[in-house]
Amino acid sequence: MEGVSVWLQELTRAASAILGDFVEYLPSLLGAILILAVGWLIARFTRSIGVRSAYWANGVLEARVGRERARHLRLSETAIRLLGNVLFWLIILFFITSATRILGLVVFSAWLDRVVVYLPTLLAGGLIIVVGLVISSLARDLTAAGIASAGLTHAELFGRGVQLAILVTALVLGINQVGIDISLLVTLIVILVGAVVGSMALAFALGAGGLVSNLIGAHYLRQHYRTGQRARLGGVEGEIVDLTPVSVVLETEGGRAIIPARIFSEETTLLLADGDGHD
């Protein structure tokens, strides 16, 4: 019985020590829980404000520049949700760091401190890449539209090339901002960009050959022909109704015929005498 009594005394002493430690630690635990609860509320509020602000910015952008032009500048639903979640977890991470300090979790708190200090650099790199993505999409459409309006071929190819160049630049800048050594990546990208640019130049040269021939042919054709005259070009006879930068439009008995201007230098053309008086 004496052994049981000693065992009960030791058990009581241990329980009292644990209870005392718990009571002593309880204020810190309650403080940490309170901080986390407040942080959760603030994080939810911040996420809501961020999402509402993004939708408001989209509305203002569409009102100022129009829905079609704002299509490549506005934030998508996925991007808005991502923005809200990033804001939410940034706030949560900050309050978790504060809670670990109150609880005395030194090792975990020190690790979280390093993460929090590194976050601005990481966010800056991500922001550079996101902005590059938006600008590259806009530049692609502007380049393709400009080349197409000029009458050149492969407009979409050139647009994609411009988009790729901007994306690669933004990616390199973003990764460099994060602090990752990208010397090997830069070398590989330079080689890749050189190959892409060379391929595009070759494609343009091959595709633009006919355009250049038509431009030269139209230049010399205007020195000999004018609208209102009747002519036979490439076996097609009719009245010249228009001389475009790259073609000749003839009004024939069967309808209007559009003839490439290079026909002037490739085949025999004939100015009919009865068309001289139709200036």
Interior angle at CA 35, CA 29 and CA 41, nearest 5: 140
What is the pLDDT at residue 40?
92
pLDDT value for 279:
38
pLDDT, position 268: 72
- C-beta of residue 226 within 8 angstroms of C-beta of residue 240: yes
What local confidence, expressed as pLDDT, does residue 278 receive?
Answer: 40
Which of 211, 263, 204, 189 shows the shortest CA–CA distance to 232?
Answer: 263
Q: Which of 216, 69, 208, 196 minimizes the C-alpha distance to 150?
A: 208
Predicted pLDDT at 248: 83
pLDDT, position 41:
93
10-residue stretch averages of pLDDT, the chain, 279 residues long: 61 65 68 87 91 84 69 72 83 83 73 71 78 78 73 73 81 76 69 71 62 74 81 80 83 82 74 54
Gap between the Cα atoms of 166 and 136, Å rounded: 5
The pLDDT value recorded for residue 190 is: 72
CA–CA gap between residue 270 and residue 87 (Å, rounded): 74
Beta-carbon count within 10 A of 98 CB: 17
* Residue 111 vs residues 87, 93, 227: alpha-carbon distances, Å: 20, 12, 81
| The Cα angle at residue 95 between residues 92 and 97, in degrees rounded to 5 | 110
**What's this model's pTM, rounded to 2 decimal places?**
0.46
What is the spatial distance between Cα 52 and Cα 46, in angstroms, rounded to a whole number?
Answer: 10
